[in-house]
């Protein structure tokens, strides 16, 4: 393949990738900044979700080599549903990363009257680099389907550097039962099967130290799992 043909191919991949991100940004732009908006009309499952996350976090802190309890990151934070409903109850400092400006503004507004301490980063996870060695927990939920496989791996690699010693990343995501990647053209995201998520975690140089299925969600939803992962 000559160099012109190759660069043509790369351009095509690049433009498909940027369409994937642009379409997602356009989708979220027109979503109301509410819990219902964050959960596609399923605000009724928010409490069950937050309680399941709390139980999973508690189980992590029963490990011998458990992380500290000072600073957390909420990745793909939306309007701060997880920050306010769960992370702030466990960490005095919670930073939020979110690509959509109006969601982050809403998060700032609703966190202002609380005792929230932390920074707000208005940037996509595919471009975000955390500060070195500052986080005990990086909680990344219902957003990784918006990253390409390659960007997901490099995001996780950068996250590793943002962790304190004994710190860990928790991924909480939908999984397909078909064993296939399923594309959603409405919000421009993919849902991955379990095996692929595990493979991407390994490729990023991380290992799963604990994994659990979210209980008590309606049976017609995708299975949702939490993965606590640490650098190998």
Q: Which stretch binds ligand SAM (CB under 6 A): 60-68, 72-80, 111-119, 198-206?
A: 72-80
Q: Is 143 in the site for ligand SAM (CB under 6 A)?
A: yes
**Does residue number 169 form part of the binding site for ligand SAM (CB under 6 A)?**
no
Which letter does DSSP use for residue 38 in this model?
H
Instruction: Name which position in 57, 87, 94, 125 contacts ligand SAM (CB under 6 A).
Output: 125
CA distance 197 to 215: 19
CB 123 within 8 A of CB 94: no
195-229 burial, b for 16+ CB within 10 Å, e for fewer?
Answer: ebbbebbeebebeeebebebeebeeeeebbbbbbb
126 binds ligand SAM (CB under 6 A): yes
Task: Count interface residues toward ligand SAM (CB under 6 A).
Answer: 20
Smallest distance from the beta carbon of 143 to ligand SAM, in angstroms?
A: 4
Taking a C-beta distance cutoff of 8 angstroms, is the pair 180, 228 a contact?
no
Asked whether position 24 contacts ligand SAM by CB under 6 A, the answer is: yes
Q: Which stretch binds ligand SAM (CB under 6 A): 71-79, 107-115, 159-167, 198-206?
A: 71-79
Q: Is 57 exposed, middle or buried (0-12, 13-18, 19+ CB in 10 A)?
A: buried
Which residues of this protein are in contact with ligand SAM, per CB under 6 A? 24, 28, 38, 76-78, 81-82, 98-100, 103, 124-126, 141-143, 146-147
């Amino acid at each position: 393949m000559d160099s012109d043909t190759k660069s043509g191919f790369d351009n095509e991949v690049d433009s498909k990738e940027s369409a994937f991100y642009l379409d997602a940004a356009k989708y979220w732009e027109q979503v109301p900044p509410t819990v219902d908006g964050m959960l596609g009309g399923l605000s009724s499952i928010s409490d069950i979700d937050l309680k399941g996350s709390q139980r999973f976090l508690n189980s992590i802190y029963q490990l011998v080599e458990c992380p500290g309890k000072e600073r957390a990151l909420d990745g793909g934070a939306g309007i701060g549903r997880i920050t306010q409903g769960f992370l702030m109850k466990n960490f005095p400092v919670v930073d939020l990363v979110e690509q959509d400006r109006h969601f982050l503004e809403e998060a700032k507004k609703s966190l202002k009257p609380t005792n929230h301490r932390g920074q707000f980063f208005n940037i996509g996870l595919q471009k975000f680099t955390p500060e070195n060695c500052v986080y005990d927990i990086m909680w990344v939920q219902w957003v990784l389907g918006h990253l390409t496989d390659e960007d997901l791996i490099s995001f996780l690699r950068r996250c590793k550097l943002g962790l304190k010693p004994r710190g860990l990343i928790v991924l909480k995501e939908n999984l397909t039962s078909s064993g296939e990647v399923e594309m959603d053209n409405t919000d421009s995201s993919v849902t991955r099967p379990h095996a692929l998520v595990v493979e991407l975690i390994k490729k990023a140089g991380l290992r799963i130290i604990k994994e659990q299925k979210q209980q008590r969600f309606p049976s017609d939803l995708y299975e949702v799992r939490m993965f606590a992962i640490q650098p190998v």
